[in-house]
Structure 1
Amino acid sequence: MRGAWEALTSWRGRGRGRGRENKATSSGRLASARALAKSLNDTSRCTLLSFYSPTCRLCHGLGPKVASACASEANWLRLVKMNVDDEAWVPEVSYYGISYVPCLVLLDRRNRARYKSAEPKTGQVVMESLGDMLRDGRRKFGGRRKDAVA
């Protein structure tokens, strides 16, 4: 009988062949990893983790709206997108208890999870969750810190 981890990762090696991956996938993963590392080390801003799947139509439709909303809050918020289908993000998916996509998690300046979006029954539910997160986050964390460097 196979272990739980083996069952979780049994899809490895299928498709394009073992050890080979698409350059776009590799560069996208690297950019996301860099963005996460930079965000977690930057205590002047909060972080919004956006968990998505490239095969999810709802994720595809809401992605630009989420990015636009976060861009308008750039003075206190940074967006990091994470592809749940990429095995590199398994630890984060597990740590934050992601069981559906799209899922948004707001981290405060000390990288503590403060808010998690509601289960995405419709795009409107996700956008309402995002609006609530941004409104509360702006009120609690949006003010500039005195010791933050611009």
Structure 2
Amino acid sequence: MSRVAAYTGTFDPLTLGHVDIIRRAAKLTDRLVIGVSTNSLKSPLFTLEQRVAALRREVMAIQGDIEVREFAGLAVDFARSVGAQFVVRGLRSGTDLDYESPMAAMNGTMAPEVDTIFLVAAPAFAHIASSLVKDVARGGGDIEHFVPATVAADIRAHTR
């Protein structure tokens, strides 16, 4: 049986922290399926299609069997639909753990066959949040240290 993991999020925009989690998760699994969704509580900078395209472009350089798909609904249902035994979640801080732990417990109740794996952010990326990147970009600040170069170019083109 192959080890399949799902990594879900809005990825708006895709950050270097996301790329680091993807790279590390791809090493732990035989197949990684990235699910890109919308979140009604967030104000997106990019459309769903643009975010999927950015992710597909960036993961081409990462070794492993990685697929990018869009989805709607619950992450745990997406994980089931792609045959994942694991859901990967990145943690930047204890605050993220406080937020993610109850979700992992609820997912475990709804889908006991799907485990949650937490990957702690590398120190170089622990401070990067998509919402902060959007704020910096909208204010005209330098975002090159927070997102891949191609994503930075996309953001600059989009916020002009």
Considering only CA atoms, is the larger Rg found in Structure 1 or Structure 2?
A: 1
Higher relative contact order structure (alpha carbons within 8 Å, sequence separation ≥ 6): 2
TM-score of the aligned structures, taking structure 1 as reference length: 0.30
Q: TM-score, normalised by structure 2?
A: 0.29
